Structure 1
Amino acid sequence: MRFFSKKIDNQIELYQRELVETHYKEVDNMYKKMRGWRHDYRNHIQMMKALASNGDMEGIKAYLDELDTDLNTVDTVIKTGNAMADAILNSKISLAQSKDINVSVDAHIPVKLKMSELDLCCIIGNLFDNAIEASMELPIEQRMIRVYMDMKGSQLYISFTNLTAGKKLKKIGKLFGTTKGEGHGLGLIRMDGIVDRLGGYLSRNSEDGAFTTEILIPQE
């Protein structure tokens, strides 16, 4: 039993390292895109000057439309007040949108959190990854993820909701049945462990057509 428990702990630790590495790669990729756009800023200005000198107002308008579209793909769209939450949320939003998933986020973290950035990264990353995986089973027009984060008194409240393929999931203990493989299960175990260690509360609810996870974590 002890050997089995240690093996599970090692698997979770390995999964945690891989998860964080993936998140930071996503964040780094997002900021590389932003830096690349800024690097090209001078070239964009020179191009518009050339169009203006030729009196080509339609050309300027078309070029500005292209720049506006390009900027929307790299701009930081969510500003919660917490740098790590911003980085993870924005990288995951970009990933979800690339898979034609509609994402709605209302997130505010006006205070400095007591929990570590590693724990915050694991929780948000797991919730988003699970919601993206579930959304991919739906037709494009039905894919939706809704995120809400805010302080409830001295506790951080996190809520993730995604549409599902229409059937209510079967609950096994604290978790719901999944066919996503070993990594998915380890992610849920890791997330539950973090919430327990921080003295928090976690609730999962599967109703026909939707799956919601709610988390409360004390910050005192």
Structure 2
Amino acid sequence: MHLFSKKAAKKMAAYQKELIETHYQEVDNMYRQMRGWRHDYRNHIQTMKAYAATENWDAIRHYLDLLDKDLTTVDTVIKTGNAMTDAILNSKISLARSKDIQVIADADIPVKLNSSEIDLCCIIGNLFDNAIEASLQLPKEKRLIRIYMDMKNTQLYISFTNFTAGKKLKKQGNLFKSTKGDGHGLGLIRIDDIVKRSDGYISRNSEEGAFTTEILLPQL
């Protein structure tokens, strides 16, 4: 029993270390993006000041149109209606895109959640990390993660789909066999524990070229 406890504690410590490293990458990437935006902002101001000095109003209008189009194209902010969900989703989207992974997200949480927001962020974070890890096995042009979140009657529906290298994963009990290691398995178990405790439902489906996780969490 003592040996089992030491082994479990060692696994959990490794898993927590991995989570900390991932969080650091996310914060560092968002900081780099903010520095980039600040640098670009200064350049845009200087360009428009130069046009204004020569009273070239047509050029300024054209430049503003280009900026508006560019901002629309690069805007990655997800607004679900839930602050903590927004924070974890935007953080993970930033991390994924820094690794050349395309993310398509449609998430809407129009009601106040009765389930723990910490639990929800744990679910989303683990699902996202798993999807990112699988996506990195693919060429850049094939990396894609699709996310959908919305209310279905009185339940919160969460769906994560990512492209895979084409091999159908083998199932071990209620989980699919992990190729990442013990930390990955702990993340999956953590998700299942939260769903079970919430009297929810989870489904995992591995097909040739894609892996999908669907979750329902009761909100009444």
* TM class by smaller structure: 0.7 to 0.9
Distance (Å, rounded) in 1 between the aligned partners of 2:204 and 2:102: 21
Distance (Å, rounded) in 1 between the aligned partners of 2:171 and 2:132: 20
Distance (Å, rounded) in 2 between the aligned partners of 1:29 and 1:166: 29
Residues paired across the two proteins, number: 219
Distance (Å, rounded) in 2 between the aligned partners of 1:117 and 1:35: 30
Structure 2 residue aligned with 1:190: 190
Distance (Å, rounded) in 2 between the aligned partners of 1:141 and 1:43: 31
1:99 is displaced (CA, Å) by: 1.9
Distance (Å, rounded) in 1 between the aligned partners of 2:14 and 2:139: 34
Equivalent runs, 1:8-157 vs 2, <5 Å: 8=8, 11-12=11-12, 15=15, 19=19, 22-23=22-23, 26=26, 30=30, 33-34=33-34, 37=37, 44-45=44-45, 47-55=47-55, 65=66, 69=70, 75-157=75-157
Q: Would the alpha carbon gap of residues 98 and 42 (structure 1) be closer, same or farther in structure 2, given more than 3 Å must change? A: closer
1:215 is displaced (CA, Å) by: 0.6
Q: Which runs of 5+ in 2 are unaligned?
A: none
1:130 is displaced (CA, Å) by: 0.7
Once the two structures are superposed, residues 178-209 of structure 1 have per-residue CA deviations (whole angstroms, 9 ceiling, x without a partner) of 22122111111111111112121111111111
Distance (Å, rounded) in 2 between the aligned partners of 1:35 and 1:153: 42
Q: Would the alpha carbon gap of residues 195 and 17 (structure 1) be closer, same or farther in structure 2, given more than 3 Å must change? A: farther
Distance (Å, rounded) in 2 between the aligned partners of 1:27 and 1:114: 28
Residue 203 of structure 1 aligns to a residue whose secondary structure is strand
Q: Would the alpha carbon gap of residues 137 and 66 (structure 1) be closer, same or farther in structure 2, given more than 3 Å must change? A: same
1:151 is displaced (CA, Å) by: 0.8
- Identity across aligned pairs (percent)? 68
1:108 is displaced (CA, Å) by: 0.6
Residues 1:161 and 2:167 aligned together? no
Q: Which runs of 5+ in 1 are unaligned?
A: none
Structure 1 residue aligned with 2:206: 206
Once the two structures are superposed, residues 75-98 of structure 1 have per-residue CA deviations (whole angstroms, 9 ceiling, x without a partner) of 552111111111111121122222
Give the RMSD, CA atoms, in angstroms: 3.4
Check the 8 A contact 2:201/2:215 in 1, yes or no. Answer: yes
Q: TM-score, normalized by length of structure 1?
A: 0.80
Structure 2 residue aligned with 1:180: 180
AA partner of residue 99 (structure 1): K
Residue 199 of structure 2 aligns to a residue whose secondary structure is coil
Check the 8 A contact 1:169/1:177 in 2, yes or no. Answer: yes
Deviating runs (4+, > 6 A) in structure 1?
none
Once the two structures are superposed, residues 4-43 of structure 1 have per-residue CA deviations (whole angstroms, 9 ceiling, x without a partner) of 2575367447735863784487368637855985798688
Distance (Å, rounded) in 2 between the aligned partners of 1:17 and 1:77: 28
Q: Would the alpha carbon gap of residues 12 and 115 (structure 1) be closer, same or farther in structure 2, given more than 3 Å must change? A: farther
Residue 106 of structure 2 aligns to a residue whose secondary structure is strand
1:105 is displaced (CA, Å) by: 0.9
